[in-house]
């Protein structure tokens, strides 16, 4: 079905006639002043009958061109039949700790130790890529919590924003409660039973305006399930004079508040996971990935195709053909006048 977005544009159809009428009335009221014109020159060369025929043809061309131009301004479009687009999936908000402690190199990969955040970025990116049909958002937190990406189907953009985030950009401390509160604010307007928050941290809440347990209670009221992940190795050899062999063993996750993370998960109906190495972290996200998708309300889509370029192109073509014709007659008149003078 063809529809017009701005049909009132056709109200300007008589505008050229009104301009012509008032301009002729004004010219009759003023003293006549003979000014040579192309029409007079054409009358001399082609005769009065030819001039009247040419003027009638020119007027018809102008009317067609003007009508086509108004048709383009009216924005015609073809609207197809309604199509139901059922959508399935969840609304997943990822809250990732990027405080200074995430730079600790205690994640072992093939004998080499890398930063926690580097491993987290790789695992979360793979996890998000597999979540086809889910809306995914991203909250990064340290001393402050920031919404890095709202809920979106554009997983690649979310991953890019996560990968580009450096350690410590949000501050050196850990505001777990503020991160949960920000995620709840974004998820609370979504339908029920479809909202999940996955929070990953390596420390304890030591800054912020909202206590983690209070934020978890708010999430539970809005039916938001929170899955918490504590990341970090339990043992790490600090290098000595002869490298890690002669170093001492420490616990790099001594500051991890597992009790609070477990309480957050319990209050919201989620689960707490402990990731001590990259393999465990991947297994955790594999478990979370098994959450059953929830059917969302079907969206109705009507395909729309713009058609304004057709009347616009036709109008320009008519104008161009008329100008080319005028230019040809003008050159013919000049040539005939020159021949008459020479004769």
Predicted confidence (pLDDT) at residue 142 exceeds the cutoff of 90: yes
Residue ranges per structural domain of the chain: 2-80+304-342, 85-298
Nearest to 199 by CA among 138, 118, 125: 138
pLDDT in tens, 157-188: 999 999 999 999 999 899 999 999 999 999 98
Q: What is the pLDDT of residues 149-162, one digit of tens each?
A: 999 988 899 999 99
192-194-195 Cα angle (round to 5): 95
Q: How far is CA 79 from CA 2, 52, 234, 302, 312, in A?
A: 6, 44, 61, 7, 19
Least trusted range by pLDDT, from 59-63, 257-261, 288-292: 288-292
Please write the tens of the pLDDT for every residue from 182-220.
999 999 877 766 789 999 999 899 999 999 999 999 999
3-state secondary structure (DSSP) of residue 55: helix
pLDDT above 80: residue 294 = no
Picking from 103-112, 268-277, 285-294, which range would have the lowest pLDDT averaged per residue?
285-294
Maximum C-alpha span of the chain: 116
Count of Cβ atoms closer than 10 Å to residue 161 Cβ = 13
Evaluate if residue 118 carries a pLDDT over 90: yes
Q: Which of 285, 298, 296 is nearest to 135 (CA)?
A: 296
- The answer to whether the CB of 322 falls within 8 A of the CB of 58 is yes
pLDDT exceeding 70 applies to what percent of the chain?
78
Beta-bridge mates of residue 272: 228
Fold category of 85-298 in CATH: Rossmann fold (3.40.50)
**pLDDT score of 165:** 93
What are the pLDDT digits (tens) for 34-50? 444 444 444 444 455 55
Averaged pLDDT for residues 256-271: 94
% pLDDT > 90, the chain: 35
Averaged pLDDT of the chain: 81
pLDDT of residue 273: 94
């Amino acid at each position: 079905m063809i529809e017009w977005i701005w049909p009132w544009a056709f109200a300007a159809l008589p505008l050229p006639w009104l301009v012509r009428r008032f301009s002729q009335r004004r010219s009759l009221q003023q003293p006549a002043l003979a000014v040579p014109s192309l029409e007079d020159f054409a009358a001399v060369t082609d005769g009065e009958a030819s001039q009247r025929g040419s003027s009638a043809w020119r007027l018809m061309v102008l009317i067609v061109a003007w009508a086509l131009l108004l048709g383009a301004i009216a924005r015609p479009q073809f609207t197809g039949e309604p199509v139901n687009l059922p959508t399935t999936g969840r609304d997943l908000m990822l809250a990732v700790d990027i405080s200074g402690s995430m730079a600790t190199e205690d994640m072992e990969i093939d004998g080499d130790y890398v930063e926690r955040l580097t491993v987290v970025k790789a695992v979360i990116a793979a996890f998000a890529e597999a979540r086809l049909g889910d809306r995914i958002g991203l909250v990064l937190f340290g001393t402050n919590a920031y919404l890095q990406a709202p809920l979106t189907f554009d997983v690649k953009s979310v991953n890019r924003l996560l990968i580009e985030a450096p350690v410590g950009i949000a501050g050196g401390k850990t505001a777990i409660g503020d991160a949960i509160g920000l995620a709840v604010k974004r998820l609370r307007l979504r339908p029920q039973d479809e909202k999940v928050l996955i929070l990953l941290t390596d420390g304890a809440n030591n800054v912020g305006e909202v206590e983690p347990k209070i934020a978890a209670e708010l999430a539970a009221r809005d039916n938001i399930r929170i899955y918490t992940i504590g990341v970090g190795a339990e043992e790490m050899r600090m290098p000595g004079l002869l490298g890690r062999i002669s170093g001492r063993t420490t616990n790099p996750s001594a500051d991890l508040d597992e009790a609070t993370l477990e309480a957050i998960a319990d209050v919201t109906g989620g689960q707490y996971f402990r990731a001590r190495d990259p393999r465990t972290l991947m297994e955790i996200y594999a478990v979370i990935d098994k959450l059953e998708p929830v059917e969302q309300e079907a969206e109705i889509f009507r395909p729309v195709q713009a058609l304004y370029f057709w009347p616009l192109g036709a109008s320009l073509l008519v104008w161009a053909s008329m100008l080319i014709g005028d230019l040809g007659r003008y050159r013919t008149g000049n040539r005939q006048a020159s021949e008459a003078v020479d004769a």
